[in-house]
Amino acid sequence: MAVDVRAGRDVPERAQRYLREAGANLIDGTERPAVGGGTFEDLDPATEEVLAAVPRSNADDVDAAVQAARRAHQDGRWSSVPPVTRARVLQQVADLIADDADDLAWIDTLDNGKPWSHARAEVLAAANCFRYFAGWVDKTYGETIPSAPNRLVYSLREPVGVCGQIIPWNFPFLMAAWKVAPTLAFGNTLVLKPAEQTPLSALWLFRLLGQVGVPPGVANLVHGVGEEAGAALVAHPGVDAVTFTGSTEVGRLVMRASAEHLHRVTLELGGKTPVVVFDDVDVATVARRAAFACFYNAGQVCTAGTRLVVSQRIHDELIARLKAVAESTVVGPGWHADSRMGPVVSREQYERVAGYVDVAAGEGAELVTGGHRSGGFDVGFFFEPTVFDRVQVGMRIAQEEVFGPVLAVQTFSDEDEGVHVANAVPYGLAASVWTDDVRRAHRVARRLQAGTVWVNTFGDFDAAVSFGGYKRSGFGRELGRHAVETYTQVKHVWVATG
Ligand code: ADP
Protein backbone atom coordinates (compact mmCIF):
# COMPACT_ATOMS: atom_id res chain seq x y z
CA MET A 1 0.00 0.00 0.00
CA ALA A 2 1.22 3.50 -0.84
CA VAL A 3 2.51 5.61 2.05
CA ASP A 4 0.64 8.87 2.76
CA VAL A 5 3.11 11.58 1.82
CA ARG A 6 1.15 14.21 3.78
CA ALA A 7 1.76 12.62 7.18
CA GLY A 8 3.66 15.09 9.34
CA ARG A 9 2.97 18.04 7.08
CA ASP A 10 2.22 20.33 10.02
CA VAL A 11 2.84 23.75 8.51
CA PRO A 12 3.17 26.36 11.28
CA GLU A 13 0.32 28.89 11.52
CA ARG A 14 2.46 31.86 10.48
CA ALA A 15 3.78 30.10 7.37
CA GLN A 16 0.22 29.06 6.48
CA ARG A 17 -0.98 32.65 6.75
CA TYR A 18 1.93 33.80 4.60
CA LEU A 19 1.17 31.19 1.94
CA ARG A 20 -2.29 32.71 1.49
CA GLU A 21 -0.69 36.08 0.66
CA ALA A 22 2.56 35.05 -1.02
CA GLY A 23 1.31 35.26 -4.58
CA ALA A 24 1.94 38.95 -5.16
CA ASN A 25 4.35 41.19 -7.00
CA LEU A 26 5.91 44.03 -5.05
CA ILE A 27 6.46 47.12 -7.17
CA ASP A 28 7.30 50.59 -5.90
CA GLY A 29 6.53 49.50 -2.35
CA THR A 30 3.08 48.10 -3.13
CA GLU A 31 2.00 44.48 -3.26
CA ARG A 32 -0.13 43.89 -6.32
CA PRO A 33 -1.37 41.28 -8.78
CA ALA A 34 -0.29 41.21 -12.41
CA VAL A 35 -1.73 44.06 -14.49
CA GLY A 36 -3.70 41.69 -16.70
CA GLY A 37 -4.85 39.65 -13.68
CA GLY A 38 -3.11 36.52 -14.98
CA THR A 39 -1.85 33.88 -12.58
CA PHE A 40 -0.10 30.54 -12.71
CA GLU A 41 -0.33 27.65 -10.26
CA ASP A 42 2.60 26.86 -8.05
CA LEU A 43 2.77 23.20 -6.95
CA ASP A 44 4.17 21.36 -3.96
CA PRO A 45 6.38 18.73 -5.65
CA ALA A 46 5.82 16.20 -2.85
CA THR A 47 2.01 16.28 -2.83
CA GLU A 48 1.38 17.79 -6.28
CA GLU A 49 -1.14 20.12 -4.59
CA VAL A 50 -1.47 23.78 -5.53
CA LEU A 51 0.29 25.98 -2.98
CA ALA A 52 -0.60 29.37 -4.44
CA ALA A 53 -1.77 31.24 -7.51
CA VAL A 54 1.07 33.54 -8.45
CA PRO A 55 1.02 36.61 -10.75
CA ARG A 56 1.78 35.75 -14.34
CA SER A 57 3.35 39.10 -15.11
CA ASN A 58 3.73 40.44 -18.60
CA ALA A 59 5.84 43.16 -20.18
CA ASP A 60 3.63 45.88 -18.59
CA ASP A 61 4.32 44.63 -15.08
CA VAL A 62 8.01 44.37 -15.82
CA ASP A 63 7.96 47.88 -17.25
CA ALA A 64 6.27 49.28 -14.12
CA ALA A 65 8.91 47.58 -11.95
CA VAL A 66 11.84 48.78 -14.05
CA GLN A 67 10.45 52.33 -14.14
CA ALA A 68 10.12 52.29 -10.36
CA ALA A 69 13.70 51.04 -10.00
CA ARG A 70 14.91 53.70 -12.48
CA ARG A 71 13.25 56.53 -10.57
CA ALA A 72 14.72 55.21 -7.34
CA HIS A 73 18.17 55.01 -8.90
CA GLN A 74 17.97 58.46 -10.43
CA ASP A 75 16.81 60.34 -7.34
CA GLY A 76 19.41 58.52 -5.23
CA ARG A 77 16.94 57.65 -2.48
CA TRP A 78 19.08 54.61 -1.60
CA SER A 79 22.58 55.35 -2.91
CA SER A 80 22.68 58.67 -1.04
CA VAL A 81 21.75 57.16 2.31
CA PRO A 82 24.91 57.42 4.47
CA PRO A 83 26.91 54.18 4.14
CA VAL A 84 26.88 53.43 7.82
CA THR A 85 23.07 53.62 7.80
CA ARG A 86 22.77 51.41 4.71
CA ALA A 87 25.07 48.88 6.33
CA ARG A 88 22.93 48.90 9.45
CA VAL A 89 19.80 48.29 7.35
CA LEU A 90 21.39 45.24 5.72
CA GLN A 91 22.49 43.94 9.13
CA GLN A 92 18.90 44.25 10.31
CA VAL A 93 17.70 42.30 7.27
CA ALA A 94 20.16 39.56 8.23
CA ASP A 95 18.88 39.48 11.81
CA LEU A 96 15.24 39.30 10.74
CA ILE A 97 15.95 36.51 8.24
CA ALA A 98 17.67 34.52 10.98
CA ASP A 99 14.71 35.16 13.34
CA ASP A 100 12.30 33.88 10.69
CA ALA A 101 14.45 30.93 9.60
CA ASP A 102 12.07 28.19 10.83
CA ASP A 103 9.06 29.54 8.94
CA LEU A 104 11.04 30.52 5.87
CA ALA A 105 12.47 27.00 5.73
CA TRP A 106 8.92 25.66 5.61
CA ILE A 107 8.13 27.86 2.62
CA ASP A 108 11.13 26.63 0.60
CA THR A 109 10.50 23.03 1.68
CA LEU A 110 6.91 23.17 0.48
CA ASP A 111 7.81 24.98 -2.72
CA ASN A 112 10.99 23.15 -3.72
CA GLY A 113 10.61 19.80 -1.93
CA LYS A 114 13.95 19.83 -0.09
CA PRO A 115 14.37 18.54 3.48
CA TRP A 116 13.42 21.19 6.05
CA SER A 117 16.81 21.05 7.79
CA HIS A 118 18.56 21.77 4.47
CA ALA A 119 16.18 24.63 3.74
CA ARG A 120 16.81 26.08 7.18
CA ALA A 121 20.60 25.94 6.73
CA GLU A 122 20.19 27.76 3.40
CA VAL A 123 18.05 30.48 5.00
CA LEU A 124 20.77 31.02 7.60
CA ALA A 125 23.35 31.18 4.80
CA ALA A 126 21.17 33.86 3.21
CA ALA A 127 21.27 35.83 6.47
CA ASN A 128 25.07 35.52 6.45
CA CYS A 129 25.17 36.79 2.89
CA PHE A 130 23.41 39.99 4.02
CA ARG A 131 25.79 40.27 6.99
CA TYR A 132 28.82 39.85 4.77
CA PHE A 133 27.75 42.46 2.23
CA ALA A 134 26.69 44.89 4.96
CA GLY A 135 30.41 44.97 5.73
CA TRP A 136 31.24 46.19 2.24
CA VAL A 137 28.90 49.18 2.25
CA ASP A 138 31.22 51.61 4.01
CA LYS A 139 34.43 49.96 2.81
CA THR A 140 33.97 50.40 -0.93
CA TYR A 141 35.73 53.43 -2.30
CA GLY A 142 38.07 54.65 -5.00
CA GLU A 143 41.75 55.49 -5.20
CA THR A 144 43.99 58.40 -5.98
CA ILE A 145 46.24 57.79 -8.96
CA PRO A 146 49.60 59.49 -9.42
CA SER A 147 49.78 61.31 -12.75
CA ALA A 148 51.16 64.67 -13.95
CA PRO A 149 52.27 67.05 -11.16
CA ASN A 150 49.56 69.55 -12.07
CA ARG A 151 46.76 67.00 -11.95
CA LEU A 152 44.85 65.29 -9.16
CA VAL A 153 43.30 62.05 -10.40
CA TYR A 154 40.96 59.97 -8.31
CA SER A 155 38.43 57.24 -8.89
CA LEU A 156 34.90 56.79 -7.59
CA ARG A 157 33.15 53.46 -7.21
CA GLU A 158 29.57 54.12 -8.27
CA PRO A 159 26.52 51.85 -8.47
CA VAL A 160 25.83 50.29 -11.87
CA GLY A 161 22.18 51.38 -11.68
CA VAL A 162 19.11 49.22 -12.23
CA CYS A 163 19.87 45.50 -11.96
CA GLY A 164 17.54 42.97 -13.60
CA GLN A 165 17.95 39.70 -11.75
CA ILE A 166 16.70 36.24 -12.62
CA ILE A 167 17.11 33.25 -10.33
CA PRO A 168 16.49 29.48 -10.54
CA TRP A 169 14.40 27.16 -8.38
CA ASN A 170 17.04 25.02 -6.69
CA PHE A 171 17.82 27.34 -3.73
CA PRO A 172 14.95 29.81 -3.87
CA PHE A 173 15.61 32.01 -0.83
CA LEU A 174 19.40 31.73 -0.89
CA MET A 175 19.65 32.66 -4.58
CA ALA A 176 17.48 35.72 -3.93
CA ALA A 177 19.89 36.74 -1.15
CA TRP A 178 22.95 36.18 -3.34
CA LYS A 179 21.50 38.66 -5.81
CA VAL A 180 19.78 41.21 -3.59
CA ALA A 181 22.38 41.59 -0.81
CA PRO A 182 25.33 42.78 -2.96
CA THR A 183 23.06 44.76 -5.27
CA LEU A 184 21.81 46.84 -2.35
CA ALA A 185 25.17 46.96 -0.58
CA PHE A 186 26.74 48.73 -3.54
CA GLY A 187 23.87 51.21 -3.85
CA ASN A 188 21.98 49.82 -6.84
CA THR A 189 18.26 49.35 -7.36
CA LEU A 190 16.76 46.14 -8.68
CA VAL A 191 13.99 44.08 -10.18
CA LEU A 192 14.05 40.40 -9.25
CA LYS A 193 12.18 37.62 -11.03
CA PRO A 194 12.13 34.33 -9.12
CA ALA A 195 11.70 30.98 -10.88
CA GLU A 196 8.10 30.05 -11.59
CA GLN A 197 8.58 26.66 -9.88
CA THR A 198 9.55 28.25 -6.54
CA PRO A 199 8.24 31.82 -6.31
CA LEU A 200 6.99 31.87 -2.74
CA SER A 201 9.77 32.81 -0.32
CA ALA A 202 10.91 35.92 -2.23
CA LEU A 203 8.08 38.15 -1.03
CA TRP A 204 9.09 37.42 2.57
CA LEU A 205 12.50 38.91 1.84
CA PHE A 206 11.08 41.94 0.07
CA ARG A 207 8.68 42.60 2.94
CA LEU A 208 11.61 42.52 5.36
CA LEU A 209 13.49 45.02 3.19
CA GLY A 210 10.55 47.44 3.42
CA GLN A 211 10.24 46.84 7.15
CA VAL A 212 13.83 47.89 7.91
CA GLY A 213 13.69 51.01 5.76
CA VAL A 214 14.80 50.18 2.22
CA PRO A 215 12.78 52.89 0.38
CA PRO A 216 9.93 51.93 -1.99
CA GLY A 217 11.05 51.38 -5.58
CA VAL A 218 14.58 50.31 -4.65
CA ALA A 219 13.86 46.57 -4.62
CA ASN A 220 11.02 45.33 -6.82
CA LEU A 221 9.69 41.81 -7.20
CA VAL A 222 8.02 40.56 -10.36
CA HIS A 223 6.75 37.00 -10.71
CA GLY A 224 6.13 35.21 -13.95
CA VAL A 225 7.13 32.70 -16.55
CA GLY A 226 10.65 32.80 -17.96
CA GLU A 227 9.74 33.35 -21.60
CA GLU A 228 7.36 36.18 -20.65
CA ALA A 229 8.38 38.15 -17.57
CA GLY A 230 12.00 36.96 -17.66
CA ALA A 231 12.42 37.74 -21.34
CA ALA A 232 10.76 41.16 -20.89
CA LEU A 233 13.15 41.99 -18.06
CA VAL A 234 16.35 41.16 -19.94
CA ALA A 235 15.10 43.00 -23.03
CA HIS A 236 14.13 46.18 -21.15
CA PRO A 237 16.09 49.30 -22.11
CA GLY A 238 15.73 50.71 -18.59
CA VAL A 239 17.91 47.97 -17.13
CA ASP A 240 21.65 48.62 -16.72
CA ALA A 241 22.90 45.20 -15.67
CA VAL A 242 21.49 41.70 -15.91
CA THR A 243 22.57 39.07 -13.44
CA PHE A 244 21.26 35.64 -14.33
CA THR A 245 21.54 32.23 -12.70
CA GLY A 246 20.07 29.31 -14.62
CA SER A 247 20.69 26.95 -17.49
CA THR A 248 23.36 27.49 -20.14
CA GLU A 249 20.64 27.30 -22.77
CA VAL A 250 18.66 30.22 -21.29
CA GLY A 251 21.92 32.03 -20.52
CA ARG A 252 22.54 32.21 -24.27
CA LEU A 253 19.09 33.75 -24.80
CA VAL A 254 19.68 36.24 -22.02
CA MET A 255 22.97 37.33 -23.50
CA ARG A 256 21.47 37.67 -26.95
CA ALA A 257 18.63 39.84 -25.61
CA SER A 258 21.04 41.90 -23.54
CA ALA A 259 23.13 42.68 -26.61
CA GLU A 260 20.39 44.96 -27.91
CA HIS A 261 20.85 47.49 -25.11
CA LEU A 262 24.40 46.46 -24.17
CA HIS A 263 23.44 45.50 -20.64
CA ARG A 264 26.31 44.43 -18.47
CA VAL A 265 25.74 40.70 -18.09
CA THR A 266 26.77 38.25 -15.41
CA LEU A 267 25.89 34.63 -16.09
CA GLU A 268 26.06 31.76 -13.62
CA LEU A 269 25.09 28.73 -15.67
CA GLY A 270 25.21 24.95 -15.72
CA GLY A 271 27.86 22.51 -14.61
CA LYS A 272 29.02 18.90 -14.82
CA THR A 273 31.30 18.82 -11.81
CA PRO A 274 33.91 16.05 -11.69
CA VAL A 275 34.83 14.46 -8.36
CA VAL A 276 38.32 13.13 -9.07
CA VAL A 277 39.35 10.35 -6.69
CA PHE A 278 42.90 8.98 -6.49
CA ASP A 279 43.78 5.59 -5.05
CA ASP A 280 45.31 6.82 -1.78
CA VAL A 281 42.06 7.93 -0.11
CA ASP A 282 39.85 6.44 2.58
CA VAL A 283 37.32 4.83 0.27
CA ALA A 284 34.46 4.66 2.79
CA THR A 285 34.69 8.39 3.48
CA VAL A 286 34.86 9.30 -0.18
CA ALA A 287 31.86 7.08 -0.99
CA ARG A 288 29.77 8.99 1.55
CA ARG A 289 30.98 12.38 0.38
CA ALA A 290 30.61 11.55 -3.31
CA ALA A 291 27.01 10.48 -2.71
CA PHE A 292 26.35 13.76 -0.88
CA ALA A 293 28.05 15.66 -3.72
CA CYS A 294 25.67 14.23 -6.30
CA PHE A 295 22.45 13.63 -4.37
CA TYR A 296 22.24 16.76 -2.21
CA ASN A 297 19.10 18.70 -3.19
CA ALA A 298 18.18 15.71 -5.38
CA GLY A 299 21.09 16.61 -7.67
CA GLN A 300 19.49 19.93 -8.55
CA VAL A 301 22.60 21.99 -7.94
CA CYS A 302 24.66 23.71 -10.61
CA THR A 303 27.80 22.46 -8.83
CA ALA A 304 26.46 18.93 -8.19
CA GLY A 305 29.26 16.36 -8.40
CA THR A 306 27.60 14.40 -11.18
CA ARG A 307 30.75 12.73 -12.51
CA LEU A 308 32.79 10.46 -10.30
CA VAL A 309 36.19 10.22 -11.99
CA VAL A 310 37.91 7.43 -10.11
CA SER A 311 41.24 5.61 -10.24
CA GLN A 312 40.81 2.13 -11.74
CA ARG A 313 42.65 0.71 -8.73
CA ILE A 314 39.87 1.55 -6.25
CA HIS A 315 36.96 1.56 -8.68
CA ASP A 316 35.30 -1.70 -7.60
CA GLU A 317 35.48 -0.98 -3.88
CA LEU A 318 34.25 2.60 -4.28
CA ILE A 319 31.32 1.59 -6.47
CA ALA A 320 30.26 -1.14 -4.05
CA ARG A 321 30.28 1.33 -1.16
CA LEU A 322 28.61 4.05 -3.18
CA LYS A 323 25.83 1.67 -4.16
CA ALA A 324 25.23 0.91 -0.49
CA VAL A 325 25.12 4.61 0.41
CA ALA A 326 22.78 5.43 -2.48
CA GLU A 327 20.42 2.61 -1.55
CA SER A 328 20.32 3.66 2.10
CA THR A 329 19.57 7.33 1.30
CA VAL A 330 16.10 8.06 2.66
CA VAL A 331 14.00 9.71 -0.05
CA GLY A 332 10.88 11.42 1.24
CA PRO A 333 9.02 14.66 1.72
CA GLY A 334 10.94 17.55 3.25
CA TRP A 335 8.86 17.50 6.43
CA HIS A 336 9.94 13.97 7.42
CA ALA A 337 12.86 14.40 9.79
CA ASP A 338 14.64 11.35 8.37
CA SER A 339 14.40 12.43 4.69
CA ARG A 340 17.81 13.09 3.19
CA MET A 341 16.53 13.73 -0.31
CA GLY A 342 13.22 15.23 -1.41
CA PRO A 343 11.37 14.98 -4.71
CA VAL A 344 12.67 16.77 -7.79
CA VAL A 345 11.00 20.11 -8.29
CA SER A 346 8.38 19.41 -10.96
CA ARG A 347 6.86 16.85 -13.27
CA GLU A 348 8.86 18.33 -16.13
CA GLN A 349 12.08 17.85 -14.17
CA TYR A 350 11.08 14.31 -13.22
CA GLU A 351 10.55 13.46 -16.85
CA ARG A 352 13.84 15.03 -17.82
CA VAL A 353 15.69 12.91 -15.24
CA ALA A 354 13.88 9.73 -16.29
CA GLY A 355 14.67 10.61 -19.91
CA TYR A 356 18.39 10.83 -19.13
CA VAL A 357 18.25 7.41 -17.44
CA ASP A 358 16.97 6.00 -20.73
CA VAL A 359 19.61 7.91 -22.67
CA ALA A 360 22.41 6.58 -20.46
CA ALA A 361 21.15 3.00 -20.68
CA GLY A 362 20.80 3.36 -24.45
CA GLU A 363 24.38 4.61 -24.70
CA GLY A 364 25.64 1.47 -22.98
CA ALA A 365 26.31 2.84 -19.50
CA GLU A 366 25.77 0.23 -16.79
CA LEU A 367 23.05 0.92 -14.22
CA VAL A 368 24.45 0.19 -10.75
CA THR A 369 21.44 1.32 -8.75
CA GLY A 370 18.31 3.48 -8.99
CA GLY A 371 16.76 4.70 -12.19
CA HIS A 372 13.15 4.65 -11.04
CA ARG A 373 10.47 6.39 -9.07
CA SER A 374 11.19 6.29 -5.38
CA GLY A 375 9.68 6.26 -1.93
CA GLY A 376 6.49 4.26 -2.34
CA PHE A 377 4.32 7.38 -2.03
CA ASP A 378 0.97 7.78 -3.74
CA VAL A 379 2.01 11.08 -5.36
CA GLY A 380 5.07 13.33 -5.78
CA PHE A 381 8.08 13.62 -8.03
CA PHE A 382 10.36 11.30 -6.07
CA PHE A 383 13.28 9.72 -7.90
CA GLU A 384 15.83 7.19 -6.70
CA PRO A 385 19.48 8.10 -6.24
CA THR A 386 20.90 6.67 -9.44
CA VAL A 387 24.41 5.54 -10.38
CA PHE A 388 25.69 4.66 -13.85
CA ASP A 389 29.06 2.95 -14.24
CA ARG A 390 31.28 2.51 -17.33
CA VAL A 391 30.46 5.95 -18.65
CA GLN A 392 32.64 7.07 -21.57
CA VAL A 393 33.68 10.67 -22.22
CA GLY A 394 31.62 10.97 -25.40
CA MET A 395 28.32 9.86 -23.87
CA ARG A 396 25.58 12.42 -23.31
CA ILE A 397 25.32 11.33 -19.66
CA ALA A 398 28.96 12.47 -19.29
CA GLN A 399 28.50 15.74 -21.15
CA GLU A 400 25.05 17.16 -20.40
CA GLU A 401 23.59 18.58 -17.21
CA VAL A 402 20.81 16.33 -15.92
CA PHE A 403 19.90 18.40 -12.87
CA GLY A 404 18.74 15.36 -10.97
CA PRO A 405 20.14 12.58 -8.75
CA VAL A 406 22.07 10.77 -11.47
CA LEU A 407 25.78 10.01 -11.06
CA ALA A 408 28.03 9.00 -13.95
CA VAL A 409 31.15 7.02 -13.06
CA GLN A 410 34.28 7.32 -15.23
CA THR A 411 37.72 5.82 -14.61
CA PHE A 412 41.35 6.72 -15.21
CA SER A 413 44.67 4.93 -15.00
CA ASP A 414 47.01 7.84 -14.20
CA GLU A 415 46.95 11.50 -13.20
CA ASP A 416 47.10 12.84 -16.75
CA GLU A 417 44.17 10.77 -17.82
CA GLY A 418 42.21 11.72 -14.71
CA VAL A 419 42.69 15.41 -15.42
CA HIS A 420 41.86 14.90 -19.07
CA VAL A 421 38.59 13.09 -18.29
CA ALA A 422 37.67 15.68 -15.64
CA ASN A 423 38.17 18.55 -18.08
CA ALA A 424 36.54 16.87 -21.08
CA VAL A 425 33.18 18.69 -20.77
CA PRO A 426 31.95 22.09 -21.97
CA TYR A 427 31.32 23.21 -18.38
CA GLY A 428 33.71 24.57 -15.76
CA LEU A 429 31.78 25.63 -12.70
CA ALA A 430 33.37 23.46 -10.03
CA ALA A 431 35.57 20.41 -9.50
CA SER A 432 36.68 18.32 -6.56
CA VAL A 433 39.82 16.27 -6.03
CA TRP A 434 40.44 13.63 -3.38
CA THR A 435 43.97 12.48 -2.51
CA ASP A 436 46.23 12.27 0.53
CA ASP A 437 49.22 13.44 -1.53
CA VAL A 438 49.52 17.17 -0.88
CA ARG A 439 51.69 17.82 -3.93
CA ARG A 440 49.30 16.06 -6.23
CA ALA A 441 46.31 17.85 -4.66
CA HIS A 442 47.66 21.30 -5.51
CA ARG A 443 48.98 20.21 -8.89
CA VAL A 444 45.62 18.80 -9.95
CA ALA A 445 43.71 21.77 -8.48
CA ARG A 446 45.67 24.00 -10.87
CA ARG A 447 45.01 21.78 -13.84
CA LEU A 448 41.25 21.51 -13.35
CA GLN A 449 39.31 23.97 -15.48
CA ALA A 450 36.77 25.31 -13.00
CA GLY A 451 35.91 28.46 -11.08
CA THR A 452 35.88 26.55 -7.78
CA VAL A 453 38.00 23.54 -6.80
CA TRP A 454 37.39 21.65 -3.57
CA VAL A 455 40.26 19.52 -2.26
CA ASN A 456 39.25 16.65 0.03
CA THR A 457 35.94 18.39 0.57
CA PHE A 458 32.86 19.22 -1.44
CA GLY A 459 30.17 21.87 -1.61
CA ASP A 460 31.70 24.49 0.68
CA PHE A 461 30.30 27.96 0.18
CA ASP A 462 30.89 31.21 2.01
CA ALA A 463 29.64 34.69 1.16
CA ALA A 464 33.29 35.80 1.47
CA VAL A 465 34.44 33.45 -1.32
CA SER A 466 33.66 34.46 -4.89
CA PHE A 467 31.81 32.01 -7.09
CA GLY A 468 31.41 31.65 -10.86
CA GLY A 469 32.27 29.65 -13.91
CA TYR A 470 34.96 28.84 -16.42
CA LYS A 471 34.04 27.77 -19.97
CA ARG A 472 30.28 27.40 -20.71
CA SER A 473 29.40 27.75 -17.05
CA GLY A 474 29.26 31.51 -17.46
CA PHE A 475 31.31 34.53 -16.49
CA GLY A 476 31.47 37.21 -13.88
CA ARG A 477 31.67 36.44 -10.19
CA GLU A 478 29.17 36.59 -7.38
CA LEU A 479 29.97 36.83 -3.67
CA GLY A 480 33.29 37.81 -2.13
CA ARG A 481 35.27 40.83 -3.14
CA HIS A 482 34.78 40.17 -6.85
CA ALA A 483 31.13 41.17 -6.41
CA VAL A 484 32.45 44.73 -6.29
CA GLU A 485 33.24 44.46 -10.00
CA THR A 486 29.82 43.04 -10.78
CA TYR A 487 27.82 45.67 -8.94
CA THR A 488 29.85 48.87 -9.26
CA GLN A 489 31.38 50.88 -12.06
CA VAL A 490 34.48 53.05 -11.87
CA LYS A 491 34.66 56.75 -12.68
CA HIS A 492 37.97 58.58 -12.90
CA VAL A 493 38.05 62.29 -12.15
CA TRP A 494 40.88 64.53 -13.44
CA VAL A 495 41.37 67.81 -11.62
CA ALA A 496 43.71 70.55 -12.80
CA THR A 497 45.66 71.67 -9.75
CA GLY A 498 47.98 74.12 -11.45
P1 ADP B 1 16.32 25.54 -15.16
O2 ADP B 1 16.69 24.69 -16.33
O3 ADP B 1 17.16 25.39 -13.97
O4 ADP B 1 14.84 25.60 -14.90
P5 ADP B 1 16.18 27.97 -16.53
O6 ADP B 1 17.39 28.56 -17.13
O7 ADP B 1 15.12 27.42 -17.42
O8 ADP B 1 16.73 26.95 -15.52
O9 ADP B 1 15.47 28.98 -15.56
C10 ADP B 1 16.17 29.84 -14.69
C11 ADP B 1 15.42 31.15 -14.63
O12 ADP B 1 15.40 31.72 -15.93
C13 ADP B 1 13.97 31.05 -14.18
O14 ADP B 1 13.67 32.17 -13.34
C15 ADP B 1 13.22 31.17 -15.49
O16 ADP B 1 11.93 31.72 -15.33
C17 ADP B 1 14.10 32.12 -16.27
N18 ADP B 1 13.95 32.05 -17.73
C19 ADP B 1 13.59 30.99 -18.49
N20 ADP B 1 13.54 31.33 -19.79
C21 ADP B 1 13.88 32.64 -19.88
C22 ADP B 1 14.04 33.57 -20.96
N23 ADP B 1 13.82 33.22 -22.21
N24 ADP B 1 14.43 34.82 -20.65
C25 ADP B 1 14.67 35.18 -19.39
N26 ADP B 1 14.53 34.36 -18.34
C27 ADP B 1 14.14 33.10 -18.56
Give the model confidence (pLDDT) of 40-95 as tens digits: 999 999 999 999 999 999 999 999 999 999 999 999 999 999 999 999 999 999 99
> With a 6 A CB cut-off, is 199 part of the ligand 1 pocket?
no
**DSSP characters over 125-177:** HHHHHHHHHHHHHTT----EE---TTEEEEEEEEE--EEEEE--SSSHHHHHH
344 vs 377, more confident: 344
> Considering only CA atoms, which residue is closest to atom 2 of ligand 1?
247
Kindly report the average pLDDT of the chain as a whole number: 97
Query: Across residues 444-456, what is the average pLDDT?
Result: 98
Answer whether residue 478 shows pLDDT above 60: yes
How many Cβ atoms from other residues are within 10 Å of residue 29's Cβ? 17
Q: Provide the β-strand partners of residue 193.
A: 166
> Which atom from ligand 1 is nearest to the alpha carbon of 195?
14
Q: Provide the β-strand partners of residue 277.
A: 310, 434
Which pLDDT belongs to residue 291? 98
> With a 6 A CB cut-off, is 247 part of the ligand 1 pocket?
yes
Which pLDDT belongs to residue 235? 97
> Considering only CA atoms, which residue is closest to atom 14 of ligand 1?
195
Half-sphere exposure of 465 (CA within 13 A, CB side): 9
Which pLDDT belongs to residue 377? 87
> With a 6 A CB cut-off, is 231 part of the ligand 1 pocket?
yes
Query: Across residues 368-393, what is the average pLDDT?
Result: 95
Q: Which of 66, 166, 256 to mutate to test the pocket of ligand 1 (most atoms within 8 A of CB)?
A: 166
> With a 6 A CB cut-off, is 304 part of the ligand 1 pocket?
no
Tell me how far the alpha carbon of residue 119 lies from the centroid of ligand 1, in angstroms: 22
> Which atom from ligand 1 is nearest to the alpha carbon of 168?
10
CA–CA separation, 90 vs 151, rounded Å?
38
> With a 6 A CB cut-off, is 399 part of the ligand 1 pocket?
no
Which pLDDT belongs to residue 22? 83
Query: Across residues 407-424, what is the average pLDDT?
Result: 98
> Which atom from ligand 1 is nearest to the alpha carbon of 257?
24
Answer whether residue 255 shows pLDDT above 80: yes
Residue 193, φ and ψ in degrees, nearest 5: -115, 110
Q: Active-site residue numbers? A: 268, 302
Which pLDDT belongs to residue 361? 97
CA–CA separation, 47 vs 54, rounded Å?
18
> With a 6 A CB cut-off, is 122 part of the ligand 1 pocket?
no
Q: Which residues contact 367 (CB under 8 A, 6 or more apart)?
A: 357, 360, 361, 386, 387, 388
Q: Provide the β-strand partners of residue 488.
A: 159
Tell me how far the alpha carbon of residue 303 lies from the centroid of ligand 1, in angstroms: 17
Split at pLDDT 50, 70, 90, the class of 375 is: confident
Tell me how far the alpha carbon of residue 202 lies from the centroid of ligand 1, in angstroms: 16
Query: Per DSSP, which regions of 28-138 are E strands?
Result: 30-32, 39-43, 50-55
Tell me how far the alpha carbon of residue 179 lies from the centroid of ligand 1, in angstroms: 15
> Considering only CA atoms, which residue is closest to atom 19 of ligand 1?
226
Give the model confidence (pLDDT) of 219-238 as tens digits: 999 999 999 999 999 999 99
Which pLDDT belongs to residue 1? 54
> Considering only CA atoms, which residue is closest to atom 16 of ligand 1?
226
CA–CA separation, 82 vs 142, rounded Å?
16
Residue 464, φ and ψ in degrees, nearest 5: -80, -10
Which pLDDT belongs to residue 356? 98
Identify the weakest region by mean pLDDT among 1-5, 79-83, 108-112, 464-468: 1-5
Split at pLDDT 50, 70, 90, the class of 376 is: confident
Q: Give, as one character, the DSSP assignment of residue 22.
A: -
Tell me how far the alpha carbon of residue 280 lies from the centroid of ligand 1, in angstroms: 41
> With a 6 A CB cut-off, is 255 part of the ligand 1 pocket?
no
Q: Which of 250, 258, 268, 381 to mutate to test the pocket of ligand 1 (most atoms within 8 A of CB)?
A: 250
Do the beta carbons of residue 10 and residue 335 sit within 8 Å?
yes
Buried b (16+ CB within 10 A) or exposed e, 188-227: bbbbbbbbbbbbbbbbbbbbbbbeeebbbbbbbbbbbbbe
